Structure formats: structure tokens, C-alpha cells
Chains A and B, each alone.
Chain A
Amino acid sequence: MKKYWKSFGELERSKDYLDSLHEQVPSYSERVESFDLKPGDSGESAEFKTDRRDFLKTTAAVAAAATLYGCARGPEQHAKPLARASETVVAGLAYYYATTCGGCNASCGVIVKNRDGRPIKMEGNPDHPISKGGLCSVGQAQTRSLYDSERLKKPRDGDKEVGWDEAVSKIRAALSASKNGRGSVRIVSSSFASKPRDLAQKLVEGFAAGKVLEWDAVSYDAIRNAHKLTHDVFDIPQYKFDRANYILSFDADFLGTWISPVEFSAGYAERRRLHVSRTAERYDSPERCRHVQVEPAMSMTGSNADLRVKLLHGDFANLLSLLIEMVQRELGTVIPASAVNSPVDQNVLDNIVSDLMKHRGKSLVISGSDDVEVQRLVNVLNHHLENYEKTVVITEPDQRFRSDDAAIPALITDLAAGSVDVVIFSDTNPVYAHPRGKELAEAIKNAGTSVSISTANSETAAACGIALPLSHFLESWGMTQPVPGLTSMSQPALHPLFDTRSFTEIALALLGDARSHYDYLQGELKTLEGTIQLRPEFTRLFDQIVHDGFFQTDAVKTQTNVASLRSSSVGTRRESSLPEGTLELTAYSSVMMRDGKEANNPWLQEGSDPVTKTTWGNYALLSKKYADAAGIRDGDIVKVSATEGDASIEVPALAMPGQHEKSIAIAIGYGRKNAGKYARGLVGRFPEENERETVGANVFVFGKSQAESNGTRLKGIPVKVEKTGAHVKPAQTQEHASIEHRPIVLETTFSEYEKNPKAGNEHEHELGTLWSGHDYSKGYHWGLAIDLSVCTGCSACIISCQSENNIPVVGEEEIRTHRSMQWLKIDRYFSDDADNPGTVHQPMMCQQCDNAPCETVCPVMATSHSDEGLNDQAYNRCVGTRYCANNCPYKARRFNWFTYPREDPIENLVLNPDIGVRTRGVMEKCTFCVQRIQDAKSISSREGRKVRDGEIQTACQQSCPTSAIVFGDMNDKNGRVSKLMDDPRRYKVLEEIGVLPSVGYLTKVRHDSKTANGGEGA
């Protein structure tokens, strides 16, 4: 305890001082003494005198304190009160702030849930024009990244921590020295999203050789380059999935990772759903979008396609050329017969062409290829199909991704030549993510001053002399224009946790501009005067914009001629260039790890890939045929090496259905060296069991051998695969892929559905019962409906659930032992042909059964039925017999096998205070977000009404980009959930056991892959 003093006398405890004190106020013992009739002891100092009563009192107090101390249950914890509480913030209430997600550049609108001054949950902003209320797994995991205790906390110069002033003045000095000298300065940044490009430009203004470079690990540069060729605009168009009746995708994972997956998922689902998402009424005039995916390896998007064509990247150009020719022929152009055989079955080709012709102007051809030629052919095909300005809007180009692939090779050359004075990397990590990263790290040493600005430690930060800590986007202001006509706002949801600054603040400091970020932002908004109608009361307008999280204006169109193409040649056909004995590598972005920026986020490391169901690392995905022929079993560690150059990695192999025989696919984003402990697997009850040098291996190294597009081609690279002899068990959350002909996922086609809405769901179970059942008529009866038709398997709900419900991360070994703690999982089943199977995704959580088998078997009644149809679980009461979990037909219950460490005070800030954390030995499971139900009920009862339909959104429902999950009161007959429950498509999983689940699933409906007629049903 601190010692406080008010004068030197007190501090030194001088006799004079003490005497004077006693004259002023008699001490307690003196006051007691006055009743004692002991003579003549007034000369003694009262200070040290203790009489019997005082002694007893002290003893009692000590005893009481000792007792209380003995009662303490855990180690001492320091509560952190709001030292400077805001007048408007009430402790214990949730506050919501609109901002823009900075997880990637897609710029989805989010609403951040704050409790007691700390963001605890990311929710989609339903009004936001891009994301429309959904949010992907990476977005959901941003609170976890915010509270990463290994973030950079202070500026670092060399090996020592320095203050901001020192760091900034050092960089300013270097900049001005350069300005006066040769003026060679480079600012390398990830595509400017919420960071102002013009500030960076201003920084290099006046420098003789000052450049601002934009570079992303995952770039869409090929699309821009292709449009440069065809339309003379260096832009990515906007893709309008909600207008497309027919989607032909060449390995574009647009539902998972490609450009703006949440936006695209929403648009895609809108064209495939059978219910109006807002009212749950059935659509009456169906024009269902048909989706064909051409790809070498099964992507999440491919798993949702009506028709999947397995094709190597090397054959994309050929197929596209053939398609263009055939379309042109259909359009009446006379074209000589093709010299190249079709890489796919002619029937399939004919069907695709006839569908494309049928849906001209309403179709959409896209490609995730990083080959400019492929992208150019895509443009040509879209042009012939008259899709431009309909589904492909090039006049209002996408502003989010402006990475220039050529930037890094040029930078390496310049750095190596020693011709760069100052290089600043902002929020980008080319040392890790560029194929020539090692060279870059060496070359950086030649720069006079090298600076890295990043939130967390990274390979690039380690290579630079000065590392500046960047504020997380939840800690900073910001403004971005993702697409023309939309400005999306960011506002801080908390004061920076550490001594960090936003890019704007750093740039302003380097420019010597004294304005705060806030002032700067207001200034910027005012310069937009031409586009927004500024009312005199700017502040009110500003507040409104910040409140909404975005504002819209009329889009300014780019001038380009869409009527004719500058380059429309079909081009010379390439022969398949894959050398004998090699496989074609597809280095793909995985839904959880993306480009590897979030490698230190344990939620994402443990979030399983929607298709492979793997966690904690990347796997070499091979076709079953190839693996069998090469004698490679699942989990055998293989060495993958490039045919040119010395790039090679070792990863475990996994045979995947739907993989092209000559294809190998490995996820990028793994193999981060400097990201932190989670990127080394250190998590769980026994972290050392999971420790590895890096989780997974870095696949970016393979880009090196591709010279043709300046080095960042990551798809279509020939590699050799050999066994190393080592073996690990794959860490998958689901081990068995076949549904074993069990009626668990019901499926039908649109044409069958049009004939009979009950198609696929004809079988009815007659359930007898011996007892009267529960009476829910008085209050609520909660239910959940899941539309399998629009569930894409994207797994955002899993991370959302993890965030909402304080679900622990268990680590790779525990996943291997099949002990994932995630309450919600998405079961992925393959059907039919193992070479190119159908895939279904089924979210599976506690089904809140009315005749719950778990409830009857618990010996201590730790789980019991609520009046509202929930299976409540009382953690405090649970003794952990696991009988309930054994008796659950859905195996939806999760057991705390250990006490999972929660010792990091910074990381613990992410915990949702509305729900406890569970100790070891306790069973837990999905509660339908009972804390949200209680919250809404208390609000509604205060207002004297019932909970409105849609007022409660479970965490999984809230995050779902396709609105596949609907929660509500089944007693409300007009509610959305009731309508879906009454739908002929609705079935319940394992209904025949008679457990009466409260979760209804709606039959999956998609187009028959075999029929030619896309689009309309019947």
C-alpha cells in the first residue's frame, strides 16, 4: 500500500509533529484512556500504547481478515474501474458503435458492442450497403486481434524501445536529409482502405524520387491489368451477384475470400433463396441463379456450385477461348473450327454455352486467376455476353484493392542498389508474403532508414530498423471509399490500449501537422463539400455520419468505352504446360487465415476450414487417385518443391474429394515466423505439446518461379511432391466425410421443388408419445430455422459464437483428440461421386430438444428444461459425468477437459461479461444465446410488451452473410421462424428418435448438375 503524507513532519514522524498531532486530535487509545482511571501515565507516548480492548479489537480484525483471506477462491485479481467514467456511459450496459471493419479491405460495416469501455463483439451493420448485416469469420475475430497481448506496444528503434517523439524526429530527420539529397523515399502500404492515400502522397511530395507503392499479399492486380488491356482502365469492376442469373466462376472463391465475400455471399444468396429474407414469405416468381464453378481444387465456393468442373489453371485460357468462340458462333460470327480439343466434356461445354446465351446480360463470368491472360479472356467473354454495366460495372470501379504486383520486385532492385534513403512499410508484410521476401529482408538493410508500421510484430517489422506500433482499427478514426458513392466511416471504440498511433496520426506527425486525427477527418469531410450537401450544422451531420457508419452520395462514373473492346483476340491457345511428373500448385486463401495477417489469432487458427475441416496449419490437398497411386496416406508429411528454384516446404498431405488429379492445393497465410505465440501453436492446457516453429508452412515462397507477372503468381505453378516418411494425424474437427446414406441432410433440385415443395422431405415420421409434453402456450417458445439452401458453410457463425460465448481455444493436439470446444460446428458431407462430389454444409449445434435425452440422465439436474423450450445448463451445478453428452444424438455438448488458461489480463478483456467462463470438469453447449434472450426480455418487460419478432438475434444469426439462420418465438405465428417452421421444406434432423428438436432445417435446393437448363425451375 502506498504511504501518503501531508507534511514533512508526518513523513519523518518527528516527535514534535506527533505531539502537535495529539494536541489537535486525541488518538483513539487516548480517548479510551480517559475512561481508565490509571494515574500518571500521561507522560508516555500514546503512539505505542495498546490496552486490552484495543488488543482484542485488533485481534478480532486480524482474525476476520485472515478468515476472509482464507475464503478467497482464486488468485488476487485487480478490477479495473473506469477511472474517468463518461457521463453517458453506464457501467454494465452495452453500447454499440458503428464503424468499418479493418479485417481486410472489403470494408464491411460493423457495429461494435462495447461493455464498460471495451469492445467485446463485432456485429454486422445491417444498414451498410456492402455487407448488409453479415460479417465474415475474420471480421468476427477482430476483437481477439485487438486484445492480442503480443501487439507492438511502443515504438522501437533498433533493439531499444523509444518514445514517439524520438522516433518521429529521427524519421523526420532522415526524410529531410533525403529531401535535400537525392530524395529517394518509398512508402509501401497495403491497399489504402481506411488510411488516406493523399497523406502518403503528401509525405513524398517534393522528393526527387519519392514513391507511394501499394502492395497486398493477395492481389487482384491481374484483373486490373486485364481491364487496362480491354477497357483502358486500370481498375477492378464491381461485380453484382444480386443481378446474376448465371455465374461462371473460374476458381474465384467469391463466397469465401475473393474481393468482398460477405457482399458477394449476400448477393448470391438473394438469387438462390426461396424465402424473402426479411419476412420469410416464400418467393413466388423464381429465377434462381445457376452457379458453375471451374476449379482444380474444391473451394468453399465450389462446394456450393450446381456444377463443378475440375480443371487445371493451365487449361483456363483454353476453355475460355473455346467458350468465347462458341459464344461468338452462337452470335453469328463466323469463326474457323477450333484447333484445340476441349479440356472438358463437350456436352458440359455445350450446356454452359447454351446457358450463357440464355442469360446474356444477366450472367457473370469471373476468375480468381492471377494470370492476366485468363482475366483478359474473362473480360472478352463478359463483353460478348453483354454483362458489362449490368453484372460487371467497370464505370464505377471497386476502390478497395489497388495492389501493384510489380512494386516489390522494383523495390528490391532499388534497395539492393542502395538507392533508397528511407523506406516505410505500412501495414504490409512483404518480407513474409512476397516470394522474394528473403531478398527483400536483406535489401532493406541497404536503406538509410527503414520503418515498419504495423499493429503486431511481423517479419517485415523485424527486418526494419524502426518499428512503429499501429493502432488497431477499433482504436482509430478512419474514412474509406470502397466503391464510388459510398464513404464508410471508422470511429474508435476504445482509447488505444498501448502507446500506438494510427497511420494518419503518424503521417501528420511526420508532416509536422499538429492536427489530431479527429480534426483531420473533419477537415477531409469538409473537402468533400462538392459531393455531400453540407448543411450549416456540420457537427450534427458529422455525428450522424459517424453514428450510421457510412454515407452515400451519387457515384462518379469513370469514363470508359464499354461498347467495344480494345483487345478482344481469343489469343493463341496454350498447350498444357505441366511437365511430366509434376503437379499444379494452387496456393489459395483459406477462409480463416487469408493472407496470414491474423496468424496470431487463435480463434482463426482453430477455426476449421469449411471444406477440409482442418485447423492449426495448412495441408497439401491432393486427389484421392494421386495419393493412392503415390502411396500417400492422409497425414503423411510430403515435401513439395518447385521445379525451378529452390523453394520447398514440408506439409502433411490430405486427400480431398473433388480435386483434379494433377492438382495440389495448399493454403497461404501459414508459416508466420514472427507473429507471436499462437502462430507457433502455443495454446491450451499443455502449450508445449502444440509448439512448433511455425504453424503450417509458408506457401508464398512458390511464387518465385513465375517470372511472367512479376513474381506474384500463386496459382498454376508446377511442383514436385515426395514423401518424407514422417506422419502426423491431421487436426480436423470432422474426421468422417461421408453421410453414410443417412437422411441427415435432405436435398432436392429447383425443378423438383417447383413440382413439389416437399420434394426431398417427403418422408414423415409418426411420433407417438406417452406423456403430455411441455406447455409453452403462456410465454415464448424459442426456435431456430436454418435454410440449408443458402448456407454456404463460410463458418462466420462459428467465430461469432466463439466470441459471444467465451469459448476457449484448445490447441492442435486437443483438436486431434476430437475435443474442439466450439458450440457450433458446420458439418460438411460429400455425396455421390468421390471424384467430383456434391457437398453440403450443415450448421450443427444444440437442438434444444423438447424431449431432451440429456436432461433425463443428469444425476444432479444440472441441465433442465426451461419454460421457453431451452435446455438450460447450470454450470455451477454440473459435476461432469458426461452422461448428457453421451446421450446426445447430435453430440452437441462440449466438456471442459481441462482448465483452459485464461491468465493473460489483456486477452481476457475480450470476454463477454454477460456469460461466465467455465471451469474444468463442466459441460457446456449452445444456449441459443440465452444472455441475448434475457436482455431482450428485460427490455421488453420494462416497456410492457412482448419481445418483437427479430428483436433477438443469436450470434450465429447476426453474423450470417446469407441470413440462413433465423431465430425467434415459435408461438408468434406471424414471426419469421414460425413461417419457416411451417414451410414444407422444413425437417428436423433425427426426428425419428422422438427427441423433438427446436431447430428446423430447410431442405437444400440447388440446380441439378446434369440438366442443361439453368436459371428457371422446371
Chain B
Amino acid sequence: MSAHYSPLRVKLVEGNKSLGQITDEICRPMNRLPSKSWWLAFLVAFSALMMGIGAITYQVLVGIGTWGLNTSVGWAFDITNFVFWIGIGHAGTLISAILFLFRQKWRTSINRSAEAMTLFAVMCAGLFPLIHMGRPWLAFWVGPYPNTRGSLWPNPRSPLLWDVFAISTYFLVSAGFWYVGLIPDLATIRDKSTSKIKKFIFGVLSLGWNGSNRIWSRYETVYMLLAGLATPLVLSVHSIVSMDFATSVIPGWHTTIFPPYFVAGAVFSGFGMVLTLMIIARKVLNLHEYITTTHIERMCKIALLTGSMVGLAYGTEFFIAWYSGSIYERFTFLNRAFGPFAWAYWIMVSCNVITPQLFWFKKLRTNVKWVFIISIFINIGMWFERFVIIVTSLHRDYLPSNWTGYVPTKIEVMTLIGVFGLFFTLFLIFCRVLPMISIGEVKSVVSYANTRNKEH
């Protein structure tokens, strides 16, 4: 980590911190009892989670009919949530892997929590393919396991099967990448902890890390390799998720633009969520010297870029629908913009296309309050994007006799809230038990490290 350091560059960590100070400050939340605001946040999140568990339990016991789906609209909130959460995850991988490979040092303050966010988001996402099944207790049938049913095997032509592999791969690689990145920090905590139990646990988790040069060098090689491995996943996972729709014959789904469009949307939504989380975390955990406005501004720029890509994709879809000459295709898009779900469409457009354009203004993208508000809009907009794609395409497809509407039930809304509860519960626990910022990596970008580096 010894790239050239120019004093002209903006400092990535403010406050001229010493190395020991960094360790202390980052580990501080783990060494004291939770604050009131943490408890409050946890209570809210955990209550939401419990409500979600209640809703899902009821739904699994009684049947999918407890949702508002119908013969024409077979997916709605379930797969919307699934795609939304998978998308959220992408920012984490992009920050940790791609920015790492591009030597974007500013990522060090945010990569740990962004990766954690990825993991939790994938967990939330993974819940939906499971519970959206009519018979979730048979979900293991989608796995290719040896069985006694003759040649019965999953269907390799089904995008849902590709999803199974894409997402499990994504989860495993992300989890591995995250864990490997954690090892030096785990060792730091082990070394600093006074309690025997903590020492033992972190001792086991840090896998005997001793901080030697050899270990560091091997560690960095592994980390680089894993970053290389994770990088294609940023593109592949959401491309495959998009094929759930793109390989179908339903107008509004059947488009070749979907893979890049979905990847851009995923990164966009992911950065929206990272911004939301980071702004809260730096406030609550008093980390604004580590997560500076520079970080926020840079993330805003990525959001602006991907948001514009998404806007371009919306336009392209419309153009192609007209250009295709297919009456069904044309109708679907007109119906999106002017049909019964036009409200959802225009929420999507205003949140995803119009709002991020505000990031052109430096004043706004360096103003944390504004950024926070806009990030919330991005989250909402990207949820609605998936809702619009799924529901408006299904509710009025080829045969007008099948046209119908869709109204979510309480159970679906509770599940939606409950999964946010799951996500925030996990994230809040993470803030308490693991270092939210990569201590080892941050140390490499503070001026102290670089000055020392120069002296050599």
C-alpha cells in the first residue's frame, strides 16, 4: 500500500490521527455498552424483524394466497424485494473489490461496512426466493443433489436455477472476502481485549495472525485474488437476476438491455443505501473524521453516473418499444407511464432519474443533509423500479381477458418492513461486535503512514 502520496490530495482521514488513536477510536463502540440511540434503533429494527417473522410464519402456514397475487400477477412484492436487496448488495462489492483493484484509497473507510451491508442484503434477498415458493419446505429441490428419484435434477435452462448459483456464489465469495479482510482487525481486537472470553473468540477468529511481514504479504496476495474473484460478480449476479425477466416472453421483461441496465441500477441503489447507512453511522458512532464529506461526495458522483445510466435505459426501453413495432411491447410501456400503475412509474422516474441530477451541484453533494434525503429517494425509487418492471408487465400482458390489478395485502407490507428490520438488526449488531472500519487499511492511508513511508 505504498503508492505515491501527494500532499495536494485531499486527506482521506481527517484529524491527524496516530495509529493507536485510530485503533482506539474504531474499537471504541465494541468496548463500551451501547448508547441510548443504539438501543432505540435496535428496538425499532428488531420489532420490525419480529413483525416480519410473524407475517412470514403466517404466510408459510396458510399459503401464498395471503399475499395479494393473482392468476396474472404471480410475482409482486416478493420478487421486487428480492431484486431490490440483491441490487443493494452490489455497492458493497463494487467498493471493496473494484475500487480496490483500481487503487481507490478512499474506499478504506467505507469498505468494511459496505461489505457487511452486501452480506446482510444478500441474506435479505435470499429469503424471498425461499418464501415466495408455494411449498418452501421443498426448496432444496432446486439444488443439484444426488437423489433417489432417477434422473430428476434441477432444470439447467431455468434462470431461477442460475439465480441459485449466482446468489450462493455471490454470498460465499462476499463472505470470504469480508472475512479475510477482517482477519488483521480481529487480531488487533484479540490483542487489545482484556476479557478472556473475548480474547479466546477473537483468537480463534483471527486464525493465529501474528502481524509478521510474511503474513501481511500473503494476506495481501489473497485479498487481491479475492478482489479479482469478486469483481466479475458485480457484473454477473445482477445480469443473471435480470435474466429472470429478460429470457421470458412477457412484454416489458423480454428485452436485451436488461443485464447492463440492471447492473447500473444495482450499483445505483447500492450506493443509495451505502450513503444512507454511512451518514447515519458516522453520526451515531461519531466517525466523521473517517467517513468524510470527501467520501460522501465521491459516492454521490458514482450515484450520479449510475443514475444517469438508469435514466438512459428507461429512455432506451421506450424507444425500442416503439421501434420494435410490436403492439404488445408498445402498449406495455404506454401502460407503465399512463396506466393504473402510472403513479409507481412516475415515483420511479422522479426518484431515479430526476433526483440524482441534483448531484451535479457540488453544494448539494457535499451537504450531508441533502445527500441523506436524496439517498432515501434513491432507495425508494429503486424499489419502485423493480415493482414497476414486475407488476406493470404482468398485470396487462398479451390477452386483455387476463388483465387485472394488484393490491398488496397487510402480510406483504409487513414482510417488506420485516426484512428492513432484519437488515438493520444485523447491521446494528455488526456495528457493536466488529470494527466498522477496516483498521489495518485505514492506517495505510492516514498521513502518518505515508510520511513514514516517505522517509524510507
Residues of B within 8 A of A828 (CB): 401
Residues in chain A within 8 A of chain B (CB atoms): 685, 734-742, 744, 814, 817-820, 825, 827-829, 842, 844, 853, 856-861, 877-883, 885-887, 889-891, 893-899, 919-923, 989-990, 993, 995
Interface-facing stretch out of B156-164, B192-200, B215-223, B309-317:
B156-164
Are the CB atoms of A887 and B62 closer together than 8 Å?
no
Residues of B within 8 A of A921 (CB): 63-64, 133-135
* Distance between Cα atoms of A920 and B63 in the complex (Å): 7
Are the CB atoms of A858 and B155 closer together than 8 Å?
yes
Nearest CB in chain A: distance from B160 CB, A: 4
Question: Please, how many residues of chain B have a CB less than 8 angstroms from a CB on the other chain?
Answer: 50
* Distance between Cα atoms of A857 and B142 in the complex (Å): 12
Q: Name the residue of chain B whose CB is nearest to the CB of A853.
A: B249
Residues of B within 8 A of A814 (CB): 65
Are the CB atoms of A882 and B134 closer together than 8 Å?
yes
Are the CB atoms of A818 and B141 closer together than 8 Å?
no
Are the CB atoms of A895 and B64 closer together than 8 Å?
yes
Are the CB atoms of A894 and B71 closer together than 8 Å?
yes
Q: A738-B400, A889-B399, A895-B64 are in contact. List 14 more A-B contacts (CB 8 A).
A: A739-B400, A740-B400, A742-B398, A817-B70, A818-B71, A819-B71, A857-B159, A859-B142, A860-B142, A881-B132, A882-B69, A886-B248, A887-B248, A897-B65
Interface readout for B381-397 with A: 1 if CB under 8 Å, 0 if not?
Answer: 00000000000001011
Nearest CB in chain A: distance from B337 CB, A: 17
8 Å CB interface, B132-149 against A = 132-136, 138-139, 141-142
* Distance between Cα atoms of A945 and B206 in the complex (Å): 75
- Beyond A878-B134, A920-B134, whether A844 also contacts B399 by CB under 8 A is yes
Residues of B within 8 A of A877 (CB): 141, 152
Residues in chain B within 8 A of chain A (CB atoms): 62-65, 68-72, 74-75, 129, 132-136, 138-139, 141-142, 152-155, 157-161, 164, 244, 247-250, 327-328, 331, 394, 396-405
Are the CB atoms of A880 and B404 closer together than 8 Å?
no
Are the CB atoms of A742 and B400 closer together than 8 Å?
yes
* Distance between Cα atoms of A995 and B249 in the complex (Å): 9
Residues of A within 8 A of B142 (CB): 859-860, 879
Are the CB atoms of A741 and B327 closer together than 8 Å?
yes
Are the CB atoms of A882 and B63 closer together than 8 Å?
no
Are the CB atoms of B132 and A820 closer together than 8 Å?
no
Q: Name the residue of chain B whose CB is nearest to the CB of A736.
A: B403
Are the CB atoms of A827 and B399 closer together than 8 Å?
yes
Are the CB atoms of B400 and A820 closer together than 8 Å?
no
* Distance between Cα atoms of A842 and B398 in the complex (Å): 14
* Distance between Cα atoms of A71 and B399 in the complex (Å): 46
Residues of A within 8 A of B250 (CB): 886-887, 889
Give the interface SS of chain A, mostly helix, strand, loop or mixed: loop
Are the CB atoms of A879 and B134 closer together than 8 Å?
yes
Residues of B within 8 A of A891 (CB): 71-72, 397, 399, 402
Residues of A within 8 A of B400 (CB): 736-740, 742, 744, 829
Are the CB atoms of B134 and A859 closer together than 8 Å?
no
Are the CB atoms of A844 and B68 closer together than 8 Å?
no
Q: Name the residue of chain A whose CB is nearest to the CB of B244.
A: A883
Residues of A within 8 A of B157 (CB): 856-857
Q: Name the residue of chain A whose CB is nearest to the CB of B132.
A: A881
Residues of B within 8 A of A919 (CB): 135
Residues of B within 8 A of A882 (CB): 64, 69, 74-75, 132, 134
* Distance between Cα atoms of A168 and B449 in the complex (Å): 109
* Distance between Cα atoms of A778 and B331 in the complex (Å): 42
Nearest CB in chain B: distance from A730 CB, A: 12
Nearest CB in chain A: distance from B379 CB, A: 26
Q: Name the residue of chain A whose CB is nearest to the CB of B402.
A: A891
30 contacts between A and B (CB under 8 A): A736-B396, A736-B403, A740-B331, A740-B400, A741-B327, A814-B65, A817-B70, A818-B72, A829-B400, A829-B401, A856-B247, A857-B157, A857-B247, A858-B158, A859-B161, A860-B154, A878-B135, A879-B138, A879-B139, A880-B134, A881-B134, A886-B248, A896-B134, A898-B65, A920-B134, A920-B135, A921-B64, A921-B133, A990-B398, A995-B249
Nearest CB in chain B: distance from A944 CB, A: 29
Are the CB atoms of B154 and A859 closer together than 8 Å?
yes
Q: Name the residue of chain B whose CB is nearest to the CB of A994.
A: B249
Are the CB atoms of A889 and B70 closer together than 8 Å?
no
* Distance between Cα atoms of A995 and B400 in the complex (Å): 19
Nearest CB in chain B: distance from A741 CB, A: 7
A861 partner, pick from B133, B135, B155, B327, beta carbons under 8 A: B155
Q: Name the residue of chain B whose CB is nearest to the CB of A889.
A: B398
Are the CB atoms of A818 and B70 closer together than 8 Å?
yes
* Distance between Cα atoms of A309 and B189 in the complex (Å): 89
Nearest CB in chain A: distance from B77 CB, A: 13
Are the CB atoms of A734 and B401 closer together than 8 Å?
yes
Nearest CB in chain A: distance from B290 CB, A: 43
Are the CB atoms of A819 and B70 closer together than 8 Å?
yes
Nearest CB in chain A: distance from B412 CB, A: 13
Are the CB atoms of B160 and A859 closer together than 8 Å?
yes
Are the CB atoms of B74 and A895 closer together than 8 Å?
yes
Are the CB atoms of A895 and B399 closer together than 8 Å?
no
* Distance between Cα atoms of A735 and B71 in the complex (Å): 13
Are the CB atoms of A825 and B69 closer together than 8 Å?
no
Nearest CB in chain A: distance from B454 CB, A: 57
Q: Name the residue of chain B whose CB is nearest to the CB of A920.
A: B63
Residues of B within 8 A of A859 (CB): 142, 154-155, 158, 160-161, 164
- Beyond A736-B401, A857-B159, A897-B64, whether A922 also contacts B135 by CB under 8 A is yes
Residues of B within 8 A of A923 (CB): 134
Nearest CB in chain A: distance from B332 CB, A: 12
Q: Name the residue of chain A whose CB is nearest to the CB of B140.
A: A879
Residues of A within 8 A of B160 (CB): 857-859, 881, 883
* Distance between Cα atoms of A741 and B327 in the complex (Å): 9
Residues of B within 8 A of A878 (CB): 134-135
Residues of B within 8 A of A881 (CB): 129, 132-134, 160
* Distance between Cα atoms of A71 and B444 in the complex (Å): 62
- Beyond A825-B401, A827-B401, whether A883 also contacts B158 by CB under 8 A is yes
Residues of B within 8 A of A829 (CB): 400-401
Residues of B within 8 A of A993 (CB): 249, 398
* Distance between Cα atoms of A235 and B228 in the complex (Å): 92
Residues of B within 8 A of A920 (CB): 63-65, 134-135
Nearest CB in chain B: distance from A688 CB, A: 14
Nearest CB in chain A: distance from B159 CB, A: 7
Q: Name the residue of chain B whose CB is nearest to the CB of A744.
A: B399
* Distance between Cα atoms of A861 and B141 in the complex (Å): 10
* Distance between Cα atoms of A890 and B401 in the complex (Å): 9
* Distance between Cα atoms of A923 and B134 in the complex (Å): 9
Are the CB atoms of A685 and B63 closer together than 8 Å?
yes
Q: Name the residue of chain B whose CB is nearest to the CB of A995.
A: B249
Are the CB atoms of A856 and B158 closer together than 8 Å?
yes
* Distance between Cα atoms of A995 and B398 in the complex (Å): 13
* Distance between Cα atoms of A987 and B62 in the complex (Å): 42
Residues of B within 8 A of A825 (CB): 401
Nearest CB in chain A: distance from B251 CB, A: 9
Closest 4 interchain pairs by CB? A880-B134, A921-B134, A897-B65, A882-B74
Are the CB atoms of A898 and B72 closer together than 8 Å?
no
Nearest CB in chain A: distance from B446 CB, A: 49
Residues of B within 8 A of A735 (CB): 403-405
* Distance between Cα atoms of A31 and B139 in the complex (Å): 55
Residues of B within 8 A of A741 (CB): 327
Nearest CB in chain B: distance from A667 CB, A: 21
Residues of A within 8 A of B164 (CB): 859
Are the CB atoms of B141 and A860 closer together than 8 Å?
yes
Are the CB atoms of B153 and A861 closer together than 8 Å?
yes
- Beyond A740-B331, A844-B401, A857-B159, whether A886 also contacts B74 by CB under 8 A is yes
Q: Name the residue of chain B whose CB is nearest to the CB of A897.
A: B65
Q: Name the residue of chain B whose CB is nearest to the CB of A821.
A: B71
* Distance between Cα atoms of A857 and B70 in the complex (Å): 19
Q: Name the residue of chain A whose CB is nearest to the CB of B70.
A: A818
Nearest CB in chain B: distance from A429 CB, A: 36
* Distance between Cα atoms of A897 and B134 in the complex (Å): 8
